[in-house]
A = this chain, B = another copy of it.
Amino acid sequence: MSSTWGERVKISIFGESHGEGLGVVIDGLPAGEAVDMQEVLLQMGRRAPGHDKTATPRKESDTPEILSGLLQDTTTGAPLCAVIRNHNTRSGDYGNLVVRPRPGHSDYTAAVRYHRHNDIRGGGHFSGRITAGIVFAGAVCRQILLRRGVEIGAHIYAIAGIHDTPFDGVSVPQELLRRLNRSRFALIDSQQEAPMRAAVEEARMSLDSVGGIVECAVTGLPAGLGSPMFGGVENVLSSLLFGIPAVKGVEFGAGFGAASMRGSRHNDPFYYDATGAVRTRTNHAGGILGGITTGMPLIVRTAVKPTASISQPQHTVDLETGQDAILEVRGRHDPCIVPRAVPVVEAATALGVLNLMMEGNQL
């Protein structure tokens, strides 16, 4: 296990930040599914750098080339491979990192793990840039899901301690999800954009960075997806979401908040709605009970740590001299990656949900 994931729809992610390129192979997609490439590009664009002062000034078009698996923009059932070339690389920026690892980054652990053979330019395979492959795969999966009535959208739940309005777990409007799906700074309450941007800018001016939380909702899921124990919806999604660099926590529904609630409040009362469907009055469960979907919206939050690469002088070690040292990072870095993490969280969720939809143990 490493950069390969999945049981039904499998992805194999490859690439490095400053190598030839990156991409993904998606194996196990159902055949005959139309892929709207404009929609895929739109999702890729939401993650791509160079559009915003919260993000790195590195510019990449991030246009994927399809090598296999599509014919006339329709899945053939064969593995779909998409490649994204790197163009705007300035590897010289990272020349000293192998010697003085960046605090909070994978430089040191990757050096140990790979005996210093890892590609450290731009973070190599550990770079957030590699998530472009996840976004591509997710963009394909969500089109397949949308045709089955399943919609996915995420927003910036918090940046630097400033919070957006959370999802109402009982009712997530379709129009809201579609608006979020189009946004580069996805918020439910757009009034939070200004203070959030101010906090990011303040951090940037201080050569610092900030973290945040992404909240994602999935609507239209039938009840009965997932399995007990290790095949649960939470297990499947967390095994993907923790694959996004900088993620340090994942919670569903009330999540850590559930820990200080009483059962009488946390339990979501069941009722029959006007259509005869079983629903719950509240949704502290985040749409999942016993690892299995309830049919209510799925709600998952993902904690994103502040960007590790900051330009302030930092204490580190010099692996050559064996002495403590001071590091001043150069290069282009996002003072806050949370806005760009939003489409990645959506994409990872789409991939996980499609896998769950394809299980079903039916004959």
CB distance from A195 to the nearest CB of B (A): 14
Given contacts A285-B104, A289-B105, are A31 and B158 in contact (CB under 8 A)? no
Q: Mark A208-225, 1 if CB is under 8 A from B, else 0.
A: 111111000000000111
Given contacts A3-B78, A230-B240, A293-B109, are A260 and B114 in contact (CB under 8 A)? no
| Contact of A263 with B3 in the complex, beta carbons under 8 Å | no
A130 to B150 CA separation, bound complex (whole angstroms) = 33
- Asked whether A235 is an interface residue with its Cβ less than 8 Å from the other chain, the reply is yes
| Residues 251-271 (chain A) with a chain B CB within 8 angstroms | 251-256, 258-264, 266-271
CB distance from A22 to the nearest CB of B (A): 7
CB distance from A122 to the nearest CB of B (A): 12
| Contact of B362 with A30 in the complex, beta carbons under 8 Å | yes
| Contact of B251 with A303 in the complex, beta carbons under 8 Å | yes
| Residues 269-292 (chain A) with a chain B CB within 8 angstroms | 269-272, 276, 278, 280-281, 284-286, 288-292
A25 to B270 CA separation, bound complex (whole angstroms) = 35
- Asked whether A234 is an interface residue with its Cβ less than 8 Å from the other chain, the reply is yes
- Asked whether A110 is an interface residue with its Cβ less than 8 Å from the other chain, the reply is yes
- Asked whether A239 is an interface residue with its Cβ less than 8 Å from the other chain, the reply is yes
- Asked whether A317 is an interface residue with its Cβ less than 8 Å from the other chain, the reply is yes
| Contact of A2 with B117 in the complex, beta carbons under 8 Å | no
Which of A20, A206, A238, A276: most chain B CB closer than 10 A? A238
| Contact of B263 with A77 in the complex, beta carbons under 8 Å | no
Which of A148, A210, A229, A312: most chain B CB closer than 10 A? A229
* Chain B: CB-nearest residue to A71: B119
